[in-house]
Chains A and B, each alone.
Chain A
Amino acid sequence: MDAPLNLVLFSGTDDKLQAAAVLTAGAAALGRPVNVFLQYWALDAFRADRIAADHGLAPEAGPAGRAAVNDLRAAGQASWAETLRQAKELGGVDIEACSLSMDLLRLEPSDLDPLVDGVEGVTAFYLNAGDGQVVFI
């Protein structure tokens, strides 16, 4: 079995979450395990009541970037949440909420979208990460 790919998601904007979802789905399609750890604003984006909302774009996108993202979406690009759902269907993808961020945002597990498998601390994240790369987005 390959070493897992470990993604720490910090940013909660749609472009960064989309990039993370693409990396996750690609690794899952290759049969590589993926651990996703949700912190701060990324965790906020996984709230069940607003996962489908517009989460904005990173500042560097600017108006031209906004237009490009809108075009791709209008052409039928799957949302990041849908991309993650498809990746999870392939198996080997575990999405965990950072317990500190849960406290920060005053969230309960029931507040989160079913894409999120559970809540864990950073020690559990590192244990599962093993010798795999850790990518911070």
Chain B
Amino acid sequence: MAIIAIQELVDARGLSCPMPIVKTAQAIRTVPSGAFVEVLATDPGSVKDFAAWARTTGNELVEQTSDGAVYRFVLRRK
């Protein structure tokens, strides 16, 4: 199993749409191409939003997990 080194964490828990995506779009610019950004969110809309955002921007959605209350996304910068 590959080990992913997270370079930047976006804690978007408690933020409503579209702030989790906005904070992530801001954060991913601060890391180099190929680096990983982890996002924590509680907005249920973020599941579809992160998939759509990754598809549109070309950044890769590497991992997506949830414990029921918190959604966790790992993105790799294009």
Contact = CB atoms under 8 A, between A and B. Distances in A.
A29 B14 contact: no
A29 B18 contact: yes
Contacts of B16: 72, 75, 77-78
Contact of B26 (A22, A72, A78, A90): A90
Contacts, number: 44
Interface stretch (A7-15, A58-66, A81-89, A100-108): A81-89
Interface of B: 14-19, 21-26, 53, 56-57
Contacts of A72: 16
Given A29-B25, A29-B53, A83 B19 contact: yes
B15 A28 contact: no
A26 interface: yes
Contacts of A78: 15-16, 19
Interface of A: 22, 25-26, 28-31, 72, 75-78, 83, 86-87, 89-90
Nearest to A24: B18
A137 to B, nearest CB: 16
Contacts of B18: 22, 25-26, 29, 83
Contacts of B17: 22, 26
Given A30-B53, A30-B57, A78-B16, 15 more contacts: A22-B18, A25-B19, A26-B21, A28-B22, A29-B22, A29-B24, A31-B57, A75-B16, A76-B15, A77-B16, A86-B19, A86-B22, A86-B26, A87-B22, A90-B22
